[in-house]
Amino acid sequence: EISTNRPWCAHWHEHPEAVARLHALWLAWQQFTDTEAGLSGPSTWHRDHLDQTLAHLRAPDGPFAACTTSATRPNHRVLATPAPEQAEVAA
């Protein structure tokens, strides 16, 4: 269920962090469903990858935190990411 404690955004594809994490999840799925992963590969994927990714994405302070979950006041906003710090070049 979507709530302020477990948010989800209908525009998830516009959140770079969500896209990156879901892409990584897909790559892990491909690895863990390969025959070399063994019969417990999918179970390991669920435990170690899916559960962790969804918990992070849907955390109150996760990438969807700025998106309102109220049906009467829908809002979508991508949080800004901090700019990388520039290393000072010694002259």
pLDDT tens readout for residues 34-88: 988 889 999 999 999 999 999 999 998 898 888 866 666 656 666 666 666 766 6
Two structure tokens written together for 3: 């709530």
Report the C-alpha gap between 18 and 65 in whole angstroms.
Answer: 12
> Which residue has 């969500």 as its token pair?
18
Report the C-alpha gap between 28 and 50 in whole angstroms.
Answer: 9
Would the pTM count as exceeding 0.85?
no
